[in-house]
Amino acid sequence: MFFAKKNPLKGRDIISIHDLSKEDILYLLHQAADLATYNPRLLPDKIIASLFFEPSTRTRLSFDAAAKRLGAQVIGFDNIETTSLKKGESFKDTIKMIEQYADVIVIRHPKEGSAQLAADLSHVPVINAGDGSNQHPTQTLVDLYTIKKEKGKLEGLTVGFLGDLKFGRTVHSLASALGLFNANIVFIAPKG
């Protein structure tokens, strides 16, 4: 079991998979493998703001469950109808207010670039849980973890993508990450 005392990602935003080097990704996958067998309460007294501006089941619940398993508290919303945004509060004011309560912000938003805007506004780290059809770096990390677990490696694999390749944020992130591992990537999509 290995938990690095010096976390190279501490305090950093994760908006795009491009924010992570190959070494960063391998570090995170190693940490995830350790956490799969040993679940310490690494985040006591930490608060994670979970801001979901659009519906989500798996991503939202996985973040919430992971935070709680690590000892953090989770605040936030999954329906903007119950927030001051509904009353006309701006996105900027919402982020500036929430950063006062949280140690990190996890955001899912239907508009491309919104996670970067949140990061630009916030003094606490922001993690992109999907922004429009742009990026979904955390899903990419889950996918890479699964591929490595199932295939035993990430280097030099052939990986196929099938379906909505233009608007699929998960495809954009994962294809970029696989490029770091010299993957042969095959795209299969309907015409148009």
Enumerate the active-site residues. Answer: 58-59, 87, 108, 136
The DSSP call for residue 7 is: -
Dihedral of CA atoms 84, 90, 92, 98 in degrees, nearest 10, equals 0
Burial class (CB in 10 A: 0-12, 13-18, 19+), 157: middle
Residue 36 corresponds to which tokens in the numbers above?
Answer: 């799969």
Separation between Cα atoms, residue 68 and residue 118, nearest integer Å: 23
Main-chain dihedrals φ then ψ at residue 20, nearest 5 degrees:
-115, 135
